[in-house]
Amino acid sequence: MKDENMSKNKVTLSAFGKRKRSGEKLIMLTSYDAPTAAIAAAAGIDILLVGDSVGMAQLGYSSTIPVTMEDMLHHTKSVRRGAPDSFVVFDMPFMSYQASDEEALRNAGRALKETGADAVKLEGGAEVAPLIRKLVGAGIPVMAHLGLLPQHVQAVGGYKITGRGDDAARLVNDALKIQDAGAFAVVLECMISDVAKEITSKLDIPTIGIGSGTDCDGQVQVVTDILGIGDFTPKHAKRFANVGEIMQQAMKQYADEVKAGTFPAKENRFDA
Ligand code: KIV
């Protein structure tokens, strides 16, 4: 099923800037396991983000806060096994990089060494610029993340749209600071679209939007949102399929056929 033309377009670190300049959109999708990663790679997804959204999408938590380094290492190894040639980004979980730069360097180093990820992502603006500089200086490519920061929801009191009023100037300044620190790309989450447009036009590095309009250099979505797995679809997402319904229907049919004695059938049996 793999389209050979897809691998010719494989994204490398140096391709991010080129894609921005050429205007060809970057497509990023979250992925948490080997089979889904393999399907995403075959579908031509440029970048697989092992997001800390794994906490909600896979682990049954109500936020990203409980997600640990061990969770992220486990899921990123799985994604790398499923998509050996894809550009994989390891999302640094809450409190893996905030306590000290030394701890952040060690954890980001583990992320690359133990999983084979190509880069790490971390949340924050000007306040994380010095850390981004240190990570990049140590040879760790960093994708930044501005706007709505899910790891800060408890501090700011919920999931809020960013970039209204004076907040716009702060976000533009944050974007310039993280670029100056050496980030190779930046996620813009749930930001007023005109602010995302302004940031995109001011930066040399690509912006990858989620809920931030069409003017970003690329888009990212959470895989379970676009597949229709789970009850809730956020405003910024679109269900491109109803995979949850298909799964439920298949599981029900399996149960019905076992009860009826029609499965396993003759062709599923091993006879002497
Ligand atoms: O964890 C995640 O899925 C993310 C995306 C929302 C960008 O950070």
DSSP per-residue codes, 68-114: -HHHHHHHHHHHHHH-TTSEEEEEPPTTSSSS-HHHHHHHHHHHHHH
pLDDT value, residue 144:
98
The series of mean pLDDT values per 10 residues for the chain, 272 residues long, is: 51 94 98 98 98 97 97 98 98 98 98 98 98 98 97 92 96 98 98 98 98 98 97 94 98 98 97 92
Q: Which residues are catalytic?
A: 189
Domain segments of the chain: what residues? Answer: 13-241, 242-272
- What ligand 1 atom has the least distance to the C-alpha of 222? 3
End-to-end Cα spacing for the chain: 35
Question: What's the 11 CA to ligand 1 centre distance in angstroms?
Answer: 19
- What ligand 1 atom has the least distance to the C-alpha of 51? 1
pLDDT value, residue 6:
47
The SS3 assignment for 231 reads coil
Question: What's the 247 CA to ligand 1 centre distance in angstroms?
Answer: 24
Name all residues whose Cβ lies below 6 A of ligand 1: 30, 49, 51-53, 91, 187, 189, 210, 220, 222
Residue nearest atom 5 in ligand 1 by C-alpha distance: 51
Write the pLDDT tens digit of every residue in 218-229: 999 999 999 999
Residue nearest atom 2 in ligand 1 by C-alpha distance: 51
pLDDT value, residue 9:
55
Say if residues 189 and 148 touch (Cβ distance below 8 Å): yes
Question: What's the 250 CA to ligand 1 centre distance in angstroms?
Answer: 29
Question: What's the 64 CA to ligand 1 centre distance in angstroms?
Answer: 9
Mutate to test the pocket of ligand 1, among 59, 65, 89, 91 (most ligand atoms within 8 A of CB): 91
Question: What's the 52 CA to ligand 1 centre distance in angstroms?
Answer: 6
Residue nearest atom 1 in ligand 1 by C-alpha distance: 51
Say if residues 92 and 49 touch (Cβ distance below 8 Å): no
> Which pTM does this prediction carry?
0.95
pLDDT value, residue 231:
87
The CATH topology of domain 13-241 is: TIM Barrel (3.20.20)
pLDDT value, residue 105:
98
